[in-house]
C-alpha cells in the first residue's frame, strides 16, 4: 500500500504515520520502497508471525494491578528515622 493509503483511515498527520511506519520498517515488520514520488509499504509475514508468537506469550501471564503493587511496595519500604 502507498503510505497515503495506509494513513487514510487514521486521524493523524501524514508525518506521524510516516514515523510509525519508519519504526515498523526498522523492526523488520514491514518493508518500504520508494517508486517515483510514492513510498510503498509491504507487510513482512514471517516477521509478523514471530512478533505475534512473542506477543501471545504475554497473554499467558496474569495481568498486573500496578496500583495494588505500588500499595504493597509502600508497606514494605521502611520509613527513614526522624532526627
Query: What pLDDT tens digit does each residue of the chain (83 aa) get?
Result: 999 999 999 999 999 999 999 999 999 999 999 999 999 999 998 888 888 887 777 776 566 677 787 787 778 766 656 66
16 lies in a domain? yes
Q: Check residue 83 and give its pLDDT.
A: 64
Give long-range contacts, CB 8 A cutoff, 24+ apart: 1-8. Answer: 1/40, 1/41, 2/38, 2/39, 2/40, 2/41, 3/38, 3/39, 3/40, 3/41, 4/38, 6/41
Domain-embedded: residue 54: yes
**31 in any annotated domain:** yes
Q: What is the pLDDT of residue 81?
A: 62
Instruction: Note whether residue 48 is domain-resident.
Output: yes
Predicted local confidence at residue 62, as pLDDT:
63
Count how many domains the chain has: 1
Collapsing DSSP to helix, strand or coil, 36 comes out as coil
Q: Cβ(51)–Cβ(14) under 8 Å?
A: no
Is 82 a domain residue? no
pTM (global) more than 0.75: no
Domain that holds residue 52: 3-76
| Predicted local distance difference test score (pLDDT) of residue 19 | 94
Asked whether residue 81 is domain-assigned, the answer is no
Amino acid at each position: 500500500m502507498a503510505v497515503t493509503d495506509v494513513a487514510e483511515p487514521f486521524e493523524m498527520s501524514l508525518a506521524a504515520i510516516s514515523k510509525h511506519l519508519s519504526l515498523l520498517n526498522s523492526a523488520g515488520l514491514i518493508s518500504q520502497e520508494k517508486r517515483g514520488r510514492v513510498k510503498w509499504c509491504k507487510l513482512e509475514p514471517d516477521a509478523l508471525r514471530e512478533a505475534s508468537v512473542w506477543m501471545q506469550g504475554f497473554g499467558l501471564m496474569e495481568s498486573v494491578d500496578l496500583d495494588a503493587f505500588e500499595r504493597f511496595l509502600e508497606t514494605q519500604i521502611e520509613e527513614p528515622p526522624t532526627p
